[in-house]
Amino acid sequence: MRDDWIEFAGAQVPRYTSYPTAVDFGASVGADDVCDWLADMPDSAPLSVYVHIPFCRKLCWYCGCTTSVPNGYDRIASYFDVLLQEIDLWAERAGRARLTHLHFGGGTPNALSPADFTRLFRYLKQAFNVDPDHEFSVELDPRILNDAMIEVMAASGVTRASLGIQTLSPVVQSAINRIQPKPDITRTVAHLRRAGIKALNADLMYGLPRQTVSDIEDAAQYCADIGVDRVSVFGYAHVPWFAKHQRAIRESDLPGLPERMLQAEAAEGVLQAAGYKSIGFDHYARPGDWLAQAAKNGCLRRNFQGYTDDTSPYLIGIGQTSISRFPEGYGQSHKGLLDWRASVTTGRLPIARGVSLTNDDRMRAHAIEHLLCNLSVDLGQIARQFGATPGVFGDAMEGLKMLETRGLCRLKGMRVSIPQEVKLLIRNVAATLDARLVQTAERHAIAG
C-alpha cells in the first residue's frame, strides 16, 4: 500500500454492517414499533434468526463482543431459561414466517451444555416454521469444543461451523489471552467433518499485539491447508473506551498502521494463491462456496456477521443486546442483563432502542451495501431507483472527488469504483455516502 494512503487507514469510520449504524440507535424505537413491523411481515416470508449466547469460558482481551465469563453453569442456565421465554414472544408474532437461516453467535454458543444446545434447537424448530433447506450456522470456540457437543450439533442439523482461530502464534496468543494450540484446532476440524459438518469458516485477525506479517501468513496458509470454505480476515479494533478488558493489551505492543496494512495484504496474497476468491474487502471463499457464488451472481449481502448470501429482509435477534432488522428499521434488545430479563419475564419484547428508516436511509443503505459488496456503485441509478434526483448525492460527490485525487476511488459520471489495491480502505469511501456520520474521537474503529 502506498505511503500516502496510510493516513486514511487511521481514520475512525463505521464497519457498515448496517446503515444507519448502531451509534444512531435511540429510544425513539421500542417494543411497540417492532411489534408493528412484525405484524406487517407477510406470511411465509423468508426469515433469519440470530440467537446470542453472551458467555465465554475465558475472556479474550481483543474481543469487542458482549460477553462475560460465568464462573459456573448456573448463570448460563438462568439465561437459557429466559432465552426460551423470549423465543415464545417472537414466535407469537412471527411464527408463520419461513425460517431460512439460523445463526448461533456469542460469546460462544458452545458454552452451552450439549443437552441445552439440543433443547434450544428443538425449541426453535417448534416455535418457527423452519424451512427444510435452512442453513444452520454456529460460531465456535475450538478451545472448549468437546466431542459430545460436536455430535449434538451434527444431530441438530448444523450445516456450517465458524471457528474462531484469530492467530496461531503462541506469542500473540499469550498477548491476547487466548491460548489455542494448532493440533487442537486440527483435531476439531477433523471431528466436525467426520460428524458431517463439512462447511467450515475460519476467522483470522491482523493488527493484534506483537503480531507480524509472518504470523498472519502462517495462519492464512493453515486455513488453506485444512481446506476451510470461507476465511474472514478482520482488523483488530482497539477500542478500550468501549471494551474495557482491552486495557489489558499494551498499546506499545500493537503494530503501527503500515504494518497492519502489510499484514492484511499478506493474508490476501496467501489465500488468493491458494485459490480463494476475494469477497468484498475482508472475506475469502473457495470458488464453489455459496458466498463466492453470491458474489459472482451479484447477490452478495452484508449484515451484522459480515458478508453473507442470506437475502432475507427480516432478521430477528434473540438474546441480550441482539439486533433485529426489518424493512421499516432496526431494533436492539437491552444491553443490560437485568433489563433484558425483566422485559422478557413480564411478557414484553426486550427492545430498548433502534431507528426507523427514512427513504433517504434506505437509499444510502443500499448504496453503501452495494459498494461494499461489489466494489462499485452507480449513485445516479440508485437515486432514481428510490425516486430521488441524482443531486441528493451532491455532498457525497464532493467527498468522492477529493478521494479520487488521492487514488482511493475512481469516478465515471456518478459511478464509483474501488481499485483492488486500495480496497482495504473502502470504508473511507463508503463514509462519504453516510449522511448521519459524526466525526468524533472514540466513536468507531479505525479504517485499516
pLDDT tens across 29-82, in order?
Answer: 999 999 999 999 998 899 999 999 999 988 899 988 888 999 899 999 999 999
For residue 2, what pLDDT is reported?
80
Separation CA 327–CA 315 (nearest Å)? 10
Tell me the pLDDT tens digit for each residue of 70-120.
989 999 999 999 999 999 999 999 978 999 999 999 999 999 999 999 999
pLDDT for position 440: 45
Q: pLDDT digit string (tens) for 366-425?
A: 999 999 999 999 999 999 999 999 999 999 999 999 999 999 999 999 999 999 999 999
pLDDT for residue 446 = 58
Complete domains list, the chain, with CATH: 1-20+358-448 (1.10.10.920), 23-318 (3.20.20.70)
What CA–CA distance (Å, rounded) separates 53 from 80? 9
**369 neighbors 313 (Cβ within 8 angstroms):** no
Q: What value does the mean pLDDT of the chain take?
A: 94
Nearest to 51 by CA among 15, 25, 90: 90
Residue 9 confidence (pLDDT): 86
pLDDT in tens, 226-270: 999 999 999 999 888 888 889 999 999 999 999 999 999 999 999
User: 384-406: string of b/e by CB count within 10 Å (b at 16+)?
Assistant: eeeeeebebbeebbebbeebeee
Residue pair 312/47 in contact by the 8 Å Cβ criterion: yes
pLDDT in tens, 330-373: 999 999 999 999 999 999 999 999 999 999 999 999 999 999 99
Look at residue 445 in the predicted model and tell me its pLDDT: 57
Sign, CA dihedral 179-184-190-194, equals negative
Tell me whether the omega of the peptide bond preceding residue 331 falls within 30 degrees of 0, making it cis: no
| Cβ proximity of 267 and 220 under 8 Å | yes
List strands edge to edge, sheet with 46-53: 277-279, 283-285, 230-235, 199-206, 160-166, 129-140, 98-106, 46-53, 314-318, 323-326, 329-333, 351-356
Tell whether the model's pLDDT for residue 448 goes beyond 70. Answer: no
**Can you tell me whether residue 196 is helix, strand or coil?**
coil
Spell out the residues 6+ positions from residue 244 whose beta carbon is closer than 8 angstroms to its own: none
Residue range 2-28, pLDDT digits in tens:
877 888 888 889 999 999 999 999 999
pLDDT at 197 over 60: yes
C-alpha closest to that of 206 among 270, 145, 302: 270
C-alpha span between 105 and 138 (Å, rounded)? 6
pTM: 0.94
Contact by Cβ (8 Å): 285, 277: yes
pLDDT tens-digit map of 141-184: 999 999 999 999 999 999 999 999 999 999 999 999 999 999 99
Q: Which residue has the cell 424448530?
A: 125
429-438 pLDDT, tens digit per residue, is 999 999 999 7
Q: What pLDDT was estimated at residue 447?
A: 57
Give the separation between CA 238 and CA 61, rounded to whole angstroms: 10
Q: Mean pLDDT, to the nearest integer, of 287-297?
A: 96
- Candidates 305, 299, 300, 271; CA nearest to 286 is 271
What pLDDT sits at residue 309?
94
The fraction of the chain above a pLDDT of 70, given in percent, is 98
Please give the grid coordinates belonging to residue 356.
Answer: 426507523
What pLDDT shows up at residue 124? 96
